């Protein structure tokens, strides 16, 4: 994610007060959150994670859904926009929130069992560094589910400097960061690619 002073982050800071009421929550984020929590739950096969992290957590909506699935897990959200964190703390008082970027998570090594990032990865300034940073925070056997816009390979080649990745490109990023990819699945009518990597 960009640094806290970037124009992109400031845009989300300004949007934070109305973010929960946006149509994107109904038609995009809600369905994505439902799908990724189900995918990770299936991957964990009945094991309850002790600590769940959402990178680019916005107002905490994914963590609220995750808490319904894993009510005894500790929920942690990180976002670079202070307005989003302020709203997340108000709407999700039982979770823990911090201002930070995907590339510099304010968490110790091997402290998280399951991590998520939903439709924020294309905003990250250094995407590989961000995935490496998430991998650093995962305990052995922990998993990271990243869901972002999907592009067919042909479009990815036609659009220069795109921040959206093909299935193959996303797998390569995960593997370079030291995560073994176990699941790649298109969700939400195929418009979003979910990739799950596990720390070995």
Q: Residue 161: its pLDDT value, please?
A: 46
Radius of gyration in angstroms for the set of CA atoms belonging to the chain, rounded to a whole number = 15
**Tens digit of each residue's pLDDT (9 = 90 or more) over 110-138:** 999 999 999 999 989 999 999 999 999 99
**Tens digit of each residue's pLDDT (9 = 90 or more) over 47-62:** 999 999 999 999 999 9
pTM given for the model = 0.89
Q: Is the dihedral of CA 186, 34, 99, 178 positive or negative?
A: negative
pLDDT of 3 > 60? The answer is: no
**pLDDT, average across residues 160-168:** 75
Q: For residue 7, name the pLDDT band (cuts at 50, 70, 90).
A: confident
Q: Residue 159: its pLDDT value, please?
A: 54
Q: Which residues pair with 118 in a beta bridge?
A: 147
Other residues' Cβ atoms within 10 Å of the Cβ of residue 89? 15
Domain boundaries in the chain?
7-199
Quote the percentage of the chain above a pLDDT of 70.
Answer: 91
Q: Residue 155: its pLDDT value, please?
A: 60
Q: For residue 151, name the pLDDT band (cuts at 50, 70, 90).
A: low
**Tens digit of each residue's pLDDT (9 = 90 or more) over 23-50:** 777 889 999 999 999 999 999 998 999 9
Specify the DSSP element, H or E, that contains 12: helix 7-15
pLDDT of 162 > 70? The answer is: no
pLDDT of 158 > 70? The answer is: no
Q: For residue 4, name the pLDDT band (cuts at 50, 70, 90).
A: very low
* Residues 123 and 7: beta-carbon distance below 8 Å: no
pLDDT of 68 > 60? The answer is: yes
* Residues 137 and 153: beta-carbon distance below 8 Å: no
Helices (H) and strands (E) in the chain, counts: 8, 7
**pLDDT, average across residues 171-184:** 97
HEC assignment per residue over 112-166: EEEEEEECCHHHCCCHHHHHHHHHHHEEEEEEEEEEEECCCHHHHHHCCCCCCCC
CATH of domain 7-199: 3.40.50.150
% helix, strand, coil for the chain, step of 5: 40, 25, 30
Q: Residue 131: its pLDDT value, please?
A: 98
């Amino acid at each position: 994610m960009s640094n806290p002073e970037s124009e992109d982050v400031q845009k989300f800071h300004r949007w934070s007060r109305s973010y929960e009421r946006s149509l994107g929550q109904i038609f995009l984020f809600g369905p994505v959150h439902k799908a990724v929590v189900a995918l990770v739950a299936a991957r964990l096969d009945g094991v309850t994670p002790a600590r769940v992290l959402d990178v680019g957590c916005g107002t905490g909506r994914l963590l609220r859904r995750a808490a319904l699935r894993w009510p005894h897990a500790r929920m942690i959200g990180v976002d670079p926009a202070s307005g989003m964190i302020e709203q997340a703390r108000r709407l999700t008082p039982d979770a823990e929130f911090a201002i930070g970027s995907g590339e510099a998570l304010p968490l110790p090594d091997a402290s998280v069992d399951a991590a998520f990032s939903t439709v924020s990865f294309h905003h990250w300034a250094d995407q590989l560094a961000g995935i490496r940073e998430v991998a650093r925070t995962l305990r052995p056997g922990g998993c990271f589910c990243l869901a972002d816009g999907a592009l067919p390979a042909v479009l990815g080649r036609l659009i220069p400097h795109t921040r959206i990745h093909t299935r193959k490109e996303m797998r390569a990023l995960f593997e370079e960061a030291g995560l073994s990819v176990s699941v790649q699945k298109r969700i939400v009518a195929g418009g979003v690619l979910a990739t799950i990597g596990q720390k070995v």
